[in-house]
Amino acid sequence: MKLYKITNFVIVVLVITAVYQTGELWLQGTTSHNFFYTILESLSQNNEEDQANGEVLLATRYAVGDGGSNFSVYYPDDVGSSTLLTMANTTMSEILSGSSGDAVTGDADWKEILQSRCLVLQYDFLLSTEEYLAGYRNVRGAQELEAFDYITIVPGKVSGEKSSVYFVNSENNEYLLFTSTKSKTSASLYEALQKGEDDMVYISTGQKTTSSVLKRNLFLPQWAQLPYTYATLRQSPVFEQEGAVSRMTLENSVEAFFKNFSADWSSRDEYGNFAFSDSSVVVKYYPGERVLEYYSYDTYGTDKNQASLAEGYQISCNFMRNDTSLHTDVYLSDIIQQGNQVVYCFDYVAGNLPVYLSDEIREKIDMDHAIEITVRGQAVKKYRRYAVDYVAEDRTAALNVQFIDALDEANRTYQEEVEERIVDNVQNIVLGYYAQDTENIGLKWFVNLYDHLFMIETWQEAPEIQE
Query: Do 169 and 201 belong together in one domain?
Result: yes
pLDDT at 234: 94
Distance from C-alpha of 381 to C-alpha of 383, rounded to nearest angstrom: 7
Confidence of residue 72 (pLDDT cuts 50, 70, 90): confident
**Domain boundary pick from 221, 253, 269:** 221
Query: Do 258 and 137 belong together in one domain?
Result: no
Annotate 256-284 with b (16+ C-beta within 10 A) or e (fewer): ebbeebeeebbeeeeeebbbbeeeebbbb
Query: C-alpha distances in angstroms, 185 versus 49, 114, 150?
Result: 11, 20, 21
Is the model's pLDDT at 302 over the cut of 50?
Answer: yes
User: Per the structure, how many domains does the chain have?
Assistant: 3
CB 281 within 8 A of CB 296: yes
Spatial CA neighbour of 375 closest among 402, 413, 344: 344
Query: Do 386 and 341 belong together in one domain?
Result: yes
Query: Do 439 and 324 belong together in one domain?
Result: no
Distance from C-alpha of 18 to C-alpha of 26, rounded to nearest angstrom: 12
Tell if the pTM clears 0.95, that is, is over it: no
pLDDT at 82: 67
Q: Is residue 45 part of a domain?
A: yes
Query: Do 191 and 239 belong together in one domain?
Result: no
pLDDT in tens, 229-280: 999 999 999 999 988 999 999 999 999 998 887 756 788 898 999 999 988 8
| Mean pLDDT, range 272-289, rounded to an integer | 93
Q: Is residue 95 part of a domain?
A: yes
pLDDT in tens, 7-41: 343 444 444 444 444 344 333 333 332 222 222 23
CATH number at residue 360: 3.30.310.160
Q: Is residue 206 part of a domain?
A: yes
Lowest mean pLDDT among 6-15, 299-308, 325-334, 352-361: 6-15
pLDDT in tens, 307-321: 888 789 889 999 999
Query: Do 17 and 61 belong together in one domain?
Result: no
Query: Do 285 and 179 belong together in one domain?
Result: no
Q: Is residue 465 part of a domain?
A: no
Sign of CA dihedral 179, 183, 188, 189: negative
Is the model's pLDDT at 111 over the cut of 70?
Answer: yes
**Domain boundary pick from 187, 221, 255:** 221
Put residue 221 in one of left, alpha, beta given phi > 0 → left and psi -120 to 50 → alpha. Answer: beta
pLDDT at 424: 77
Is the model's pLDDT at 77 over the cut of 90?
Answer: no
| Mean pLDDT, range 297-308, rounded to an integer | 71
Query: Do 170 and 129 belong together in one domain?
Result: yes
pLDDT at 188: 94
Percent of the chain having pLDDT more than 90? 50
Q: Which domain holds residue 214?
A: 31-221
The 3 state secondary structure assigned to 126-193 is EEEHHHHCCCCCCCCCHHHCCEEEEEEEECCCCCCCCEEEEEEECCCCEEEEEEECCCCCHHHHHHHC
Query: Do 252 and 160 belong together in one domain?
Result: no
Confidence of residue 401 (pLDDT cuts 50, 70, 90): very high
Q: Is residue 450 part of a domain?
A: yes
Query: Do 183 and 39 belong together in one domain?
Result: yes
Confidence of residue 453 (pLDDT cuts 50, 70, 90): very high
Query: Do 64 and 138 belong together in one domain?
Result: yes
Q: Is residue 229 part of a domain?
A: no
Confidence of residue 465 (pLDDT cuts 50, 70, 90): low
Query: Do 52 and 155 belong together in one domain?
Result: yes
For residue 27, the one-letter residue type is L
